[in-house]
Amino acid sequence: MRRPLGAWLWRICIRAGRNIRPSPASYNRDLKKGFALLTIPKHIDALLFDLGGVLIDVDFNRAFENWSLASGIDATLLRSRFKVDDAYHRHERAEISAEQYFAALRNSLGINIDDALFERGWNAILGAEIVSTTRLLPGLLQQRPLYLFSNSNRTHHVRWERAYAGMLANFAEVFVSSEIGLRKPDAEAFLHVASAAGLDPRHILFFDDTMENVDGAKAVGMMAVHVTGTDSIIDAIRSADS
């Protein structure tokens, strides 16, 4: 995994004039497209983003459709059988392998397909960038370091790290549950991210599309926003000073 700049080094490089940020030309092109600069309030030291549902589209229905075609079992039935269970959580913390998780899915979904077909459907969950949001990142990066924290298994991590490399370059550091062995919404996970970034949780503004994770971040003192679309991110930044 890429190990980008931490918050302290980000500040040093900015002071030294080192070009770690998007070029003014590319930033200005985005401004001309209508993405007005958002001013981050002074009490916020960094922004922390979730990935799926905030920066990229995720849809489990694409997995069920893939597995339905492979198994001959109706996608609606597969959807009803699928659970975010203990095996799912352990897979995201890398406590079990993809092969072990797919074996658990064979049992819970009642289908007998090989690992390659499971993986094809699993990766189909990941969709396109949410461009209306990702185009905000260069302007935000002009002001504060950005961080990302994703509950993500290794199979998905390998996939999205390549697929969205350009967008991910905006982040000072990317935290992944399957690398740190911790997942949202656990307090230990949020405290680990804050400590590794060298930040006080109280000065981090966190964005996630899952209310449980928002509540978990708030429990450790972070400012946290439930994301329902790009407008909710813009509104949260604009109102953070009020």
- pLDDT of res. 11: 45
- pLDDT of res. 241: 73
- pLDDT of res. 10: 47
Q: Any idea which fold 60-124 has?
A: DNA polymerase; domain 1 (1.10.150)
Both tokens assigned to 84: 């975010």
Question: What is the rounded distance in angstroms from the CA atom of residue 230 to the CA atom of residue 35?
Answer: 11
Q: Which amino acid is at 210?
A: T
For the stretch 15-36, pLDDT in tens is: 333 333 444 444 445 444 434 5
- pLDDT of res. 16: 39
Question: What is the rounded distance in angstroms from the CA atom of residue 229 to the CA atom of residue 88?
Answer: 26
For the stretch 104-128, pLDDT in tens is: 999 999 999 999 999 999 999 999 9
Partners of residue 176 on adjacent β-strands: 150
Q: Which of the residues in the chain have pLDDT under 70?
A: 1-36, 242
- pLDDT of res. 60: 98
Q: Does domain 7-57+129-239 sit in CATH 3.40.50.1000? A: yes
138 C-beta neighbours (distance < 10 Å), count: 22
Partners of residue 46 on adjacent β-strands: 204
The CATH 1.10.150.240 portion of the chain extends over 60-124
The CATH 3.40.50.1000 portion of the chain extends over 7-57+129-239
